[in-house]
Amino acid sequence: LVPELLTLYCTNCRLTGLQVNLEQKLFGQHIASKVLLKAVTDFVNKKTQKKPLVLSLHGLTGTGKNFVSELLASNIYKKGMSSSFVHQFVTTLHFPHISKIDIYKQWIKGNVSSCDRSMFIFDEMDKMPPGLIDSIKPFLDYYDNQDGVSYRRTIFIFLSNAGGETIKQVALEFWKNGKDREEIQLSDLEEKLSLEVFNNKYSGMWHTSLIDKYLIDFFIPFLPLEYKHVHMCALAEMANQNMEPDEDIADEVAKAMIYSPKEERVFSSKGCKEITSKLVQVDKKTKRLEE
């Protein structure tokens, strides 16, 4: 395992690689960036742990939950998401039938690696059959080991749209009151988020013991994205595609997105999720006009 691991700190550098990535690539998520940076760097660099690190990421589609998981993997493992120590489960793909919940439980347990620095990502938690996630509770608890294997240095990440509307309402209230979104703190959302997820039958964590036993270390809210963030996403995607940065095209891409609520049009309904396709459409349109 050691050769494949990266250190989150670089020699003689003022900033960590993860911090640089979060600052330069994750837009509009000041709460998530701050919490993730501290939680992950502290966990990875601490020699002894009492339990695995368990992160639950919540927010509407396109706000950066999957993207930040990739950033974490790329800053911990040399091969990033392609590492043999990173295991990703997508609910609709891996756990489609609730009637087979016992089989899925055994599958999850069977995929828990003996490597003490593994990362497990559970995507679309809001579509997870109720009770299934409790099957991995023993691996998240304060145990020395399970069947001779210690999981105290493992990272578990849950991704969910559940709680997204609550997060959106809090952000909208701040906007209506003329407050800057950067004034929103984790304390404004964390308790509301955990309660909604725990009491929502469609959250995948409905009445789960992971919550009432306090095994989830952080409920991390991802705020809905505004026009300026979509604009930044468009410029970032241009750079990713080795295109010449064009403010006008980025502006057109941002304008092409649908915003909500209907009257205020504050937040992008799909975040930055459709940036790539919108960019292709706008770029083709621009080239036709030039011709």
Q: Assess whether 271 and 168 both reside in one domain.
A: no
State both tokens at 168. 């959106």
Token pair 């330069």 in the structure block, residue: 24
Residues that constitute the known binding site for ATP: 59-66
Domain count, the chain: 2
| Tens digits of residue pLDDT in 90-127 | 888 888 777 777 787 777 777 665 567 789 899 998 88
Q: Is 250 exposed, middle or buried (0-12, 13-18, 19+ CB in 10 A)?
A: buried
State which amino acid sits at residue 237.
Answer: E
Distance CA 240, CA 232 (A): 12
Alpha helices in 181-226 (DSSP H): 190-199, 209-212
Among 182, 199, 222, where does a domain finish? 222
State which amino acid sits at residue 232.
Answer: M
Q: Assess whether 218 and 231 both reside in one domain.
A: no
Q: Assess whether 21 and 44 both reside in one domain.
A: yes
Q: Assess whether 53 and 102 both reside in one domain.
A: yes
- Global model pTM greater than 0.85: yes
Q: Assess whether 71 and 214 both reside in one domain.
A: yes
Q: Assess whether 119 and 232 both reside in one domain.
A: no
Among 172, 200, 222, where does a domain finish? 222
Query: Would you write out the chain's pLDDT as a tens digit for each of its 291 residues?
Result: 456 777 665 544 555 789 999 999 999 999 999 999 999 999 988 878 888 999 999 999 999 999 999 999 999 988 999 998 898 988 888 887 777 777 877 777 776 655 677 898 999 988 877 777 777 777 777 666 666 566 788 899 999 998 999 999 999 999 999 999 999 999 999 888 888 777 666 666 655 667 777 788 999 999 999 999 999 999 999 999 999 889 999 999 999 999 999 899 999 999 999 899 999 888 666 665 454
Q: Assess whether 205 and 264 both reside in one domain.
A: no
Give the Cα-Cα-Cα angle 137, 140, 143 (nearest 5 degrees): 105
Q: Assess whether 201 and 91 both reside in one domain.
A: yes
Q: Assess whether 131 and 266 both reside in one domain.
A: no
Distance CA 124, CA 161 (A): 7
Among 222, 237, 259, where does a domain finish? 222
Q: Assess whether 69 and 162 both reside in one domain.
A: yes
Q: Assess whether 197 and 85 both reside in one domain.
A: yes
Residues that constitute the known binding site: 59-66
Domain holding 103: CATH number? 3.40.50.12190
State both tokens at 145. 């080991």
**Domain assignment of residue 231, given as a range:** 227-290
157 CB contacts (<8 Å, ≥6 apart)?
55, 56, 57, 69, 72, 119, 120, 121, 122
Q: Assess whether 82 and 23 both reside in one domain.
A: yes
